[in-house]
Amino acid sequence: MVQETAGSEPQVLPPDTGYNPPPPVRRQRRSWQYAPATYVLAGINCAIFIAMVLKGISPANPNVDQLMLWGANNAGAVIIYGEWWRIVAAMFLHVGIIHLATNMWCLWNLGLLAEPLMGTVGLFPVYILTGAAGNLLSTLVNWVWPIHEAGNAVFPAGAGASGAVFGIAGALIVLLKSNRLPIPPRELKRLRKSVIYFAAINLVIGFSISAGAHVLSSGINIDNMAHLGGFACGLIFAIPMVPRIGSPRDVFKTRLRAAVIMTVGLLVLFGFYIAHVPPPAGLGI
């Protein structure tokens, strides 16, 4: 059969056999591929914890010296000895299996919600930069107001992914406000409210535990400054961003790049300021 189209060359069509080929089958991606950054970050945290246990460190109650050996944050080590790498290392280190499990549960749930909005290449810098912001704020506060024992200034060791988890929550609160998202407004409002409740409730719990521990002298220490610093950085990071869903790819990439550059610049300035804060009384340097 020959079919002619006006103004074109004749086109030869295949004979009509009455058979229509089936549509191509789309291969479904495995579930982990929808949020690879979330899985990778959780995997790194778990792998480090397993490595610690294999080295003979208690899975329930590692001591301070062991945590410091593996990269815990410490104001004295960072500022006096220049071990700034601890600002990043500490966000992958945990004080026992319960600490790890609670943080990974929060990272899992928030990451699965955040990664479609931030993209895989977006969640990594959000985790690293907001976690670093939390540890920097914790370093500053512990440097200015250390614990005094027998007249000497003592700096606590800090570890955990919770600062980064709060950072993801802060970024989500901003991004879920976007009118670009193809989600019903009622559902969007519900999601955003649940993230706000998560952040508020956990901040209140953290400060309450710290206050009770101080009164009872129980020795339990929640790094609330890391939580606050991470949360505030997440809010700031997301301000220039647009969600990946509903936004042109070029616009999203440009805004993400601007968010990373802006946040890195702010953290460098903050770190420079911390490095020049005078030592506290009783330190002896």
> For each of the chain's 285 residues, which pLDDT tens digit applies?
444 444 444 444 445 545 455 554 455 555 555 799 999 999 999 999 999 999 999 999 999 999 999 999 999 999 999 999 999 999 999 999 999 999 999 999 999 999 999 999 999 999 999 999 999 999 999 999 998 777 788 899 999 999 999 999 999 999 999 999 999 999 999 999 999 999 999 999 999 988 887 766 666 688 999 999 999 999 999 999 999 999 999 999 999 999 999 999 999 999 999 999 999 876 766
Answer yes or no: are the C-beta atoms of 137 and 229 closer than 8 Å. yes
Compute the C-alpha angle 117/137/283, nearest 5°: 160
Tell me the two tokens of residue 104.
Answer: 């990974």
Answer yes or no: are the C-beta atoms of 85 and 71 closer than 8 Å. yes
User: Residue 59 CB: number of other CB atoms within 10 A?
Assistant: 14
Q: Is the pTM of this model over 0.85?
A: yes
User: Residue 141 CB: number of other CB atoms within 10 A?
Assistant: 17
